[in-house]
Amino acid sequence: MKFAALVRSAALVTAVALVPVTTAGFAQVDSRVSPEFAKLFAVYNRIKASYVDPVSDDKLVRGAIDGMLASLDPHSAYLDGGDLQRLETMIDGNYSGLGLSVVMDDGAVKIVSPFKGSPADKAGIKAGDYITHLDGKLIYGGSLDDAVAQMRGEAGSKIRLTIYRPGSDEPFDVTVTRGVIELEPVTSELKPGNIGYISVNEFSRDVGSDVFSAYEKMKAEAKGRLNGLVLDLRRNPGGSLDEAVALSDLFLSNGTIVSQRGRAKGESITYDAETVYRGDMAKNVPMIVLIDEGSASASEIVAGALQDHHRAMIMGERSFGKGSVQTLLPLGKEAALKLTTARYYTPSGHSVQEGGIEPDVIVPQLSDPDLAKREKMSLRESDLRGHLVNEAALKDKDMEKDKKADPRFQQTAEELKAKGIEDFQLDYALKTLRRTAPGNLARKD
Q: Is 382 an annotated catalytic residue?
A: no
Which one is catalytic: 297, 299, 319, 324? 297
Is residue 395 part of the annotated active site? The answer reads: no
Confirm if 340 and 76 have CB atoms less than 8 A apart: yes
Q: Which residue among the candidates 110, 126, 322, 338 is catalytic per the annotation? A: 322
Cβ–Cβ < 8 Å for 286, 438: yes
396 annotated active-site: no
Neighbours of 93 (CB within 10 A): 19
* DSSP state letter for 439: G
328-to-311, 341, 424 alpha-carbon distances in Å? 32, 10, 39
Instruction: Give the strand pairing for 228-232 and 195-200.
Output: parallel
Residue among 121, 242, 308, 383 flagged as catalytic: 308
d(CA 360, CA 363): 9
Other CB atoms within 10 A of residue 444 CB: 18
Query: Interior CA angle at 297 toward 313 and 384, to 5°?
Result: 120
Which is nearest to 215 in space by CA: 200, 233, 227, 198?
198
Residue 433 Cα to chain centre, angstroms? 27
Mind telling me the catalytic residues? 297, 308, 322
